[in-house]
Chain A
Amino acid sequence: MNAFKKNWIKIGKLSDIPKRGSRCVKNGDLTIALFRSADDKVFALEDKCPHKNGPLSQGIVHDGCVTCPLHNWVISLETGEVQGPDEGSTLSFPIKQDGDDILLGLQTSSDGIK
């Protein structure tokens, strides 16, 4: 009966992600980009810009945002919302940092992780 339950999955260590950089996690067809900010906070967004699906993990990380490598849209790491004059948002995922470990929060249902 655990149709929707949050599941914390350990996906790696803080040191695996370069400062102001990004790594990806693959969950079936879904690619999730993990970002590490200058002050060592970790954020997770779907690796897809709401504009034209650009891989956000390849962008430049700055001040709590990432700039998409394709057309320079700026996305908030915290909320996935597009900043500035453009509009849209990207799916964001909760992260827990336990010491050096990074835990990604995913909703699980009977037919797998969402």
Chain B
Amino acid sequence: MTQKLVIIGNGMAPGRMLEHLFEEDATAYDVTIFNAEPRVNYNRLMLSPVLSGEKTYEDIITHDDAWYEANNVTLLKGAKITEIDRNLKTVTSEAGVVASYDKLVIATGSNPFIIPLPGHDLDGVLVYRDLDDVGAMLTAAKSKGRAVVIGGGLLGLEAAAGLKARGMDVTVLHLMPTLMERQLDPAAGYLLEKAIKDKGIEVLTEVNSKEILGKDGRVSGITLDDGTVIDASIVIMAVGIRPSFSLAKDADIDCNRGILVDDKMQTSDPDVYALGECVEHRGDCYGLVAPLYEMAKVLANNLTGGNAEFTGSVTATKLKVTGVDLYSAGDFAEADDREEIVLRDAAQGIYKRLVLKENRIIGAVQYGETTDGPWFFDLLKKGTDISEMRDSLIFGQAYQGGASLDPMQAVAALPDDAEICGCNGICKSVIVTAITDKKLNTLDEVRSHTKASASCGTCTGLVEQLMSVTLGDTYDPSKVAAVCPCTDLGHDDVRRLIQVKSLKSIPAVMQELEWKTSCGCAKCRPALNYYLVSDWPGEYEDDYQSRYINERVHANIQKDGTYSVVPRMWGGMTSSDELRAIADVVDKFDIPAVKVTGGQRIDMLGVKKEDLLGVWSDLGDAGFVSGQAYAKGLRTVKTCVGSDWCRFGTQDSTGFGIRIEKFMWGSWTPAKLKLAVSGCPRNCSEATCKDIGVICVDSGYDIHFAGAAGLDIKGTELLGHASSEDEALEYIVALTQLYREQGHYLERIYKWAKRVGVDEIRSQILDDDIGRKNLYQRFVYSQKFAQHDPWSERVSGKDKHEFNPLAIFGQEAAE
């Protein structure tokens, strides 16, 4: 019979343990997880990028609901266990849920240590441990005041950098003379302090906090021992963690500093195991992920009848603060039996130090340049005798044995068992084997198959180099996602960073996101211009020089350099006056061709650029505005004659089409947007291959989207049904706004829908009433700045130079 396995806690260690468990035997256990946090499993190492805005919560999820479902795991979210009964073999949650177990795994992790200063219980005193803490910090960051971070260790500095990136003033208070003194020697600590200060973060060392001050129950500042008072709107305590083991202790399981486990991760009760930050193993408690993952592997093996043992682990540290390169591993305290090798390059801010004992590396600190970190760590863990290469050791792997400086060759030269991903303990041969056996081509595939670089991500470069070495030219990392060769960032990253960093001009984006060219290229500039127009309506000034020619001169360029002009005919309706005016314009300007378009408009082709203003002026006098047939924006709304004329028409499809077009004209979208409204399911306006289409039925309006009838042919997806015109308009507008906010530039709506998922879009528009109304409001707001007819603006003189030559000369100008 299947045994019952209950897990208390849903952090990274038990998550990884389950993966190994299911690999060994997917049916051995019936698994139930109690998670005190109200969510699925996510990568806690990546909280800092979430805080700074470089990633979102969705980016850092490691196991989503679907994973638990697929593996038949019962996950109880927001369920905190309050009691373990070892006699009955049951656990009981706060809400009274009782579950019985055959085997129990305790993975309660750790608690942040709170210094019991006066005022530590005020509102606004926060710790940095889980996503809720990040949420609380982000809320506080909106008020923009000053944040005081107590503790200049790894977490404290990451929190400080994140809050600074969110626009707060930040002060770090540290008890010791140099930062991160547990991982860094004083010289590297000094360089780190300088780099942190360069980010505009205030750092005070050798200071002791005395009291947290409050006003109306909220933090207002902090006093130091020397009497200094610092104003603060939040205080973050990041002074260390303590294993969380009270639950185990209450159940009389042996505990010391943590829950005591043996090499098999077994506690004093043979049916109860523990792993992660809550345990004490051979006198050590661990707070870094690599040893926790080793424990996970060992425990999974033992739960399925194996004999694996965990014997302790040396750890390496990397700081995840953008722009600060730091790597440290092992022991670097000074002692009589130790020697050291130091390399300093003050100009480049590089510091490297190796601590040797009996010709073996026992400690390594690197600052400013850390590419050799994994290599030193490998030598350290293996206890390699380095006397042969001692003279050039500090210069790194590339200097050994005359190898060149090329990082590719350095990676190629690594031994098969060299560790590439420290977090997950993945060595080179595992990655190379996965790439060749499973024919992996992208970084994401390698991550999902091997876990390499899937945790903190700092070894991504190494993994990519390894992919290049293995795959040769077939692997092109930049091809995967980058907007264009001017940047390594993809469209999603650029869009998100524009938002979180409040970037409001093209130069600001290029500077802050480290563009590699001085003013971009013809690919990225139009994309950035659109993102800024879309994200900052009313604030961003459109940059015409970053628009394609068609949008710059409000007409479509033709192969001979002439233009085609399409006036707007709302919903495809016109009149004798309009037709007469068009005929007059065609005659007056000698326009060579006139054609009816697929979008129910009239196109005048072959207009010379210098005639554009005259053509627009005459069309404007007849009441026409630009049809925007050139725009990455709302083009046309096709209609049929509907209930006005048609004997089958169920609703006023013409009137509704005109209403939509009058509401949405002028709006910019990632790519062109074509709509249609059909008055009955016979669908004469061909709404089911449009970007957005409406099919009127007796009971109202079926709204479709994501069709295509161009390079690709694809019928639409049904978004949903609306019973009134107003409701239908709200759905259409909200959908358009969602596409405007998420679409990649030049990505048609059907490609966007394929990328983010039709169900996801449907749930955001149909199920989330508040979200939909907000989308609608944001569209309405941006229309205030978008609905200006560009033709009349140009006729009245805006940028008139565009249409006239700078100078004309010929024979008469010659001598």
Contacts and interface: CB of A to CB of B under 8 A. Distances in A.
| A, B in one complex | yes
Given A9-B813, A21-B545, A69-B557, A62 B801 contact: no
A60 B544 CA distance: 10
Interface string A91-114: 000000000000000001000110
A112 B813 CA distance: 8
A22 to B, nearest CB: 9
A69 B557 CA distance: 8
A24 B609 CA distance: 12
B518 interface: yes
B737 interface: no
A7 B806 contact: no
Nearest to A17: B806
Interface in A15-52: 16-21, 23-28, 31, 34, 38-39, 52
B549 A63 contact: no
Contact of A25 (B560, B561, B806): B806
Contact of A24 (B799, B805, B809, B813): B805
A61 B545 CA distance: 8
B522 A72 contact: yes
A9 B806 contact: no
B561 A60 contact: no
B810 interface: yes
Interface size class of A (residues with CB under 8 A): 35 or more
Contacts of B810: 26-28, 112-113
Contacts of A54: 561
B711 interface: no
Interface string B774-815: 000000000000000000000000010100011111110111
B522 A23 contact: no
A21 B552 CA distance: 11
A89 interface: no
A20 B529 CA distance: 14
A39 B519 CA distance: 10
A88 B799 CA distance: 33
A27 B107 CA distance: 81
Contacts of A63: 517-521
Contacts of A9: 809, 813
Contacts of B806: 11-12, 16-17, 23-25, 34
Contacts of B522: 59-60, 62, 67, 72, 74
A60 B814 contact: no
Interface in B501-545: 517-522, 525-526, 544-545
Which of B552, B561, B815 is the most central at the interface, judged by chain A CB atoms within 10 Å of its CB?
B561
- Chain B interface residue bracket vs A: 20 to 34
Contacts of A19: 545
A24 B805 CA distance: 5
Contacts of A23: 801, 805-806
Among A11, A34, A39, chain B packs the most CB atoms within 10 A around the CB of A11
B548 interface: yes
A67 B525 CA distance: 12
B527 to A, nearest CB: 12
- B557, B811, B813: most-surrounded residue (chain A CB, <10 A): B813
B465 interface: no
Given A16-B806, A27-B809, A70 B545 contact: no
B754 interface: no
B546 interface: yes
Given A70-B557, A72-B522, A112 B805 contact: no
Contact of A60 (B546, B560, B808): B546
A44 to B, nearest CB: 11
A113 B807 CA distance: 14
B805 A25 contact: yes
Contacts of B544: 18, 21
B519 A59 contact: no
B87 to A, nearest CB: 75
Given A62-B525, A70-B559, A26 B809 contact: yes
B801 A16 contact: yes
A26 B807 contact: yes
Contacts of B546: 20, 60
A67 B814 contact: no
A27 to B, nearest CB: 6
Given A23-B805, A25-B806, A69 B521 contact: no
A52 B807 contact: no
A9 B806 CA distance: 13
A25 B807 contact: yes
A42 B546 CA distance: 18
Given A23-B805, A23-B806, A52 B814 contact: no
Contacts of A11: 806-807
Nearest to B517: A63
Nearest to B815: A108
B505 to A, nearest CB: 13
A113 B549 contact: no
Given A52-B559, A69-B557, A62 B520 contact: yes
Contacts of A7: 814-815
Contacts of B548: 60, 69
A58 B517 contact: no
A112 B815 CA distance: 8
Contacts of A67: 521-522
B519 A38 contact: yes
Contacts of A53: 560-561
Contacts of A59: 522, 549
Given A26-B808, A38-B519, A113 B561 contact: no
A27 B522 CA distance: 29
Contact of A112 (B518, B553, B801, B814): B814
A17 B545 CA distance: 11
A69 to B, nearest CB: 4
Nearest to A13: B806
B521 A55 contact: no
A26 B805 contact: yes
A29 to B, nearest CB: 9
A38 B515 CA distance: 15
A86 to B, nearest CB: 14
B557 A58 contact: yes
Contacts of A72: 522
Contacts of A39: 518
Nearest to A7: B815
A93 to B, nearest CB: 13
Nearest to A34: B806
B809 A38 contact: no
A73 to B, nearest CB: 10
Q: Specify which of A17, A19, A28, A62 lies most central, judged by the most chain B CB atoms within 10 Å of its CB.
A: A62
Nearest to B526: A60
A20 B545 contact: yes
Given A19-B545, A23-B801, A62 B811 contact: no
Contacts of A113: 809-810, 813-814
A74 B548 CA distance: 14
26 contacts: A2-B815, A7-B815, A11-B807, A12-B806, A12-B807, A18-B799, A20-B545, A21-B545, A25-B805, A25-B809, A26-B810, A27-B810, A39-B518, A53-B560, A53-B561, A54-B561, A59-B522, A62-B522, A62-B525, A63-B519, A65-B521, A67-B522, A70-B557, A72-B522, A112-B811, A113-B809
- The 6 A-B residue pairs whose C-beta atoms are closest, nearest first, are A67-B522, A23-B806, A60-B522, A58-B549, A28-B810, A20-B545
Given A25-B809, A39-B518, A65-B521, 20 more contacts: A2-B815, A11-B806, A12-B806, A18-B544, A23-B801, A24-B806, A25-B806, A26-B809, A27-B808, A27-B813, A34-B806, A55-B561, A59-B549, A62-B519, A62-B521, A69-B548, A108-B814, A112-B811, A112-B814, A113-B813
